[in-house]
Structure 1
């Protein structure tokens, strides 16, 4: 690590605290705030038809003065990677610009952004949003419509249409489709999905092919290796942890989260397939996890793998790089030794082959000053170029351009990168609606309760269906 990187890492810890403090300050002063930046939008939180202003199709003249371009994301390795990468590469084109990636804890990520959006005044220029956050941000008028900019500056044919839709389009089409007439509000920053991480030295070189087989292999591995749990996966009641786990099992066993066309959740998520998935998760998978794992998320799953205490684990690819670091694991003193024990594979199939969509897009705050809007547009144009996407892949990022995904720079950079490339066509997302934050909270709470024995599985799923339906119906539908 260079001295400059150390300085940025050290100062970043302070920025993490300042970002959280700024969010608190905005919340306290919300009633007194009447305006935002130069691009203040006439948006009403209660107006579902509201939308932020449109960005110019052509990048405005850029300043030569020193400028800080600020992102907001949650605290995990890709955030530091982005800051280091951008300050090493983007500054070759724009030496007067410093990139700051401010972070907050994952559990606070949504509120840290949307509290400031509600105040129409942000201390960030680019928000890194989950795909499901886009609807809320658009209907609140909080992010710029960049459709014209994309049409003029981005090679859209270089992307899988679904990735462009998932990370930028609103309203969003059904999974796997892109509506060419819909507006675009973001561009891909980081692609992601789950990988299955398995102990080759405990279960063999070949990973299980079906979910049922995976459960049996994990059960046998746990019986054969005292002190090692069969499975490690996300269970926490926070962010989207427990919900993504249930949604993944639901999809693989042929279930659906809702009927989008009819706005119907009740009777869909808790149908026979949905109940089967919840039963498998709680009664077959949960007993194969470690005691006290009911609050596990990304870091805890990685720790279980690194400590050699899990036969099979599931985690986001973008968060898995540290598993190959000998300083962070007991599985080997070199990368090669670790890979003799660890394997990475696409998720097993079952009734379907669906996998969860992860990753996030970049979105420009409607309240950023004009000179930073111009810089943000220029950064997006720069970042989405083929050569930069390949450099991003080589540095450890997960690109979204097809040419970068298929490049040696990406496929040879990590043993899990082929997993992502093979998974893109299998991805399924959740509900991309303004009510997302409330829907995910309901599901997390109830799935976590079922996993921890506070509710029986059937009751938990029925409660999810009833409470989520009430959210949609109470808001006048979609």
Structure 2
């Protein structure tokens, strides 16, 4: 997840939001539990056969005018992908127009899965969050591209975990790839959090531990009236509050679940998990601005750009606009802004983990064979080394190791080295068909704790009990 550093903070003024048709059905169809998430089997998420298999080679392509459509959520990388593909892919396929249709972030999952449920999509390629894959595979919504990947993609060119995270199901543990598992997608955009810090307020060297970071933020806040020590995601929507807690959980040595036993209760709310929730609510929250209890990407960026935060945490993909003088009070040039802003990998504490962001491309099982062929050809084209380097230079975050380590990527933005240094530290959430329900439970309860509606202990215990209920088949709500 990244985009041109000249793009907006996290939305593009004037860009038309092209709603996928099914987004209009979201409120009535899936609102009750935040989207489908129903597993297709009685054993709590064992994948079914999945969708049809893609051919091993790209079928004959049509020369007729063709639109290859994607669905994503509304943010600058969507425009970056559309611009990049229409500039570069059309050199190979001049009859093809790329269209990236977008919906609001909160409706992203439901806009796709409503159409999947109807077995008719107005998009050819779904850009799924890594945790959506299990639901899509279990319901047979996307193509199995294992044979295609084996014939056309140099899998050794990728960090094994990135290839697994953005396409494999069942998914491996963090840092691993099961070569016997099937692949249903390929990486589109990588991402993780970066720590953004005010060099002019706290110094050039970023804090190295989480405890040190909190102490530094407190000191900075005390010394700079009107500037909050921290800014981070707290909203009860998308995966905002949940990712924040999960990150702190990992830093303090906690685990979200025992994936082998599908056990959450007693794991997420163990001693380490309780410590993490206490730190988040009682040490970090007091260092945030008044009214920040529902902040997400836009609000965090605004706090940084307006000089109102000492330290912030943000997805790298959403940080590019911070360098735009038109959107910042920190300087009239990019260099002036960079004199005040530093970007670093996340501090460590009892463990050394960072959140996995990013997402992959997945072909709808419900489009014509000619559209599937074009989609396969696009994916083959996009994953080439030279194209991945061009994507990096255009503001994308690649997943091929050679592209991640290339000058085209590392010199394209001050936070790109952060991503390269973070790949080996990434940890994802639960990759199961019940993901949508699990994330809603966690967002709701973490947000409640951050806003004082629940105690940290009660919020975490409620998360554990309700999420376990989902995995055990009881719904959890």
Tell me whether the two structures share a fold, i.e. TM-score over 0.5. yes
Q: How do 1:355-370 and structure 2 match up within 5 A?
A: 355-370=354-369
C-alpha distance in 2 between matches for 1:25 and 1:282? 36
Aligned to 1:218: 217
RMSD (Å) for aligned C-alpha atoms: 2.0
SS in structure 2 opposite 1:359?
Answer: strand
C-alpha distance in 2 between matches for 1:198 and 1:133? 32
TM superposition shift of 1:23: 2.8
**TM-score normalized with structure 1 length:** 0.92
C-alpha distance in 2 between matches for 1:471 and 1:44? 10
Aligned to 2:302: 303
Aligned to 2:69: 70
C-alpha distance in 2 between matches for 1:149 and 1:391? 23
C-alpha distance in 1 between matches for 2:444 and 2:242? 8
Greater RCO structure (CA 8 Å; 6+ sep): 2
TM superposition shift of 1:49: 1.7
Q: How do 1:177-256 and structure 2 match up within 5 A?
A: 177-256=176-255
C-alpha distance in 2 between matches for 1:254 and 1:432? 20
C-alpha distance in 1 between matches for 2:203 and 2:345? 16
Aligned to 1:24: 24
- On the 8 A contact 2:39/2:433 being kept in 1, the answer is no
- On the 8 A contact 1:26/1:119 being kept in 2, the answer is no
Q: Is 1:103 the equivalent of 2:102?
A: yes
Aligned to 2:161: 162
- On the 8 A contact 1:45/1:118 being kept in 2, the answer is no
Aligned to 1:441: 440
- On the 8 A contact 1:235/1:242 being kept in 2, the answer is yes
C-alpha distance in 1 between matches for 2:300 and 2:183? 35
TM superposition shift of 1:22: 3.6
C-alpha distance in 2 between matches for 1:297 and 1:225? 23
Q: Give the direction of change, closer, same or farther, for the CA distance of 1:132–1:18 in structure 2 (3 Å limit).
A: closer
Q: Give the direction of change, closer, same or farther, for the CA distance of 1:281–1:25 in structure 2 (3 Å limit).
A: closer
Aligned to 1:34: none
- On the 8 A contact 1:393/1:413 being kept in 2, the answer is yes
C-alpha distance in 1 between matches for 2:39 and 2:419? 39
C-alpha distance in 2 between matches for 1:402 and 1:294? 37
SS in structure 1 opposite 2:472?
Answer: helix
Aligned residues: 455
Q: Give the direction of change, closer, same or farther, for the CA distance of 1:441–1:25 in structure 2 (3 Å limit).
A: closer
TM superposition shift of 1:11: 9.7
* Greater per-residue helix proportion: 1
C-alpha distance in 2 between matches for 1:52 and 1:364? 10
Aligned to 1:260: 259
Q: Is 1:283 the equivalent of 2:263?
A: no
SS in structure 2 opposite 1:163?
Answer: helix
TM superposition shift of 1:368: 1.2
C-alpha distance in 2 between matches for 1:337 and 1:22? 45
Aligned to 1:456: 455
- On the 8 A contact 2:220/2:310 being kept in 1, the answer is yes
TM superposition shift of 1:82: 0.3
C-alpha distance in 2 between matches for 1:218 and 1:29? 43
- On the 8 A contact 1:52/1:141 being kept in 2, the answer is yes
Structure 2 gaps, min length 5: 1-11, 31-37
- On the 8 A contact 2:142/2:362 being kept in 1, the answer is yes
The C-alpha deviation readout for 1:42-73, integer Å capped at 9, x for no partner, is x9956752410000001000000000000000
The C-alpha deviation readout for 1:379-434, integer Å capped at 9, x for no partner, is 00000000000000000000000000000000000000000000000000000000
SS in structure 1 opposite 2:171?
Answer: coil
C-alpha distance in 2 between matches for 1:25 and 1:449? 28
